[in-house]
Amino acid sequence: MDRVAVKGLRARGHHGVFPREREQGQTFVVDIVLGVDTRPAARGDDLARTAHYGVVSEEVVAIVQGEPVDLIETLAQRIADQCLKHEAVQEVEVTVHKPDAPITVPFDDVTITIVRSRE
């Protein structure tokens, strides 16, 4: 399986369990790695036979900006589900970064990474 990756998608969302997170929002960063067989697209030089990473990126940002959820686990699952709606995508790895998580000690980042594939 070939990999098409988009790293560092940024969007403001209102996800989290604390009222401040829901009211003020915060920046989330998302990395996606799409598992695609790129051979058909490469043979015909045909965008329609692969995953259009520009469209997928816009969809990911819309999810982050959309309906709030409590957990970044839920957010990651919603993103994975959307990516798998694209016919060419057979598997997806989603990493959601929450760099401004409400933690009282110094830290660099909080992430969750999930891998999902077609059933």
> Known catalytic residues?
98
Measure the CA–CA gap between 35 and 87, rounded to whole angstroms: 11
Burial grade of 1 (CB within 10 A; 0-12, 13-18, 19 or more): exposed
| Token pair belonging to 7 | 């790293």
User: What DSSP letter does each residue of 17-33 carry, written as one string?
Assistant: SSHHHHHH-EEEEEEEE
**Beta-ladder partners of 10:** 29
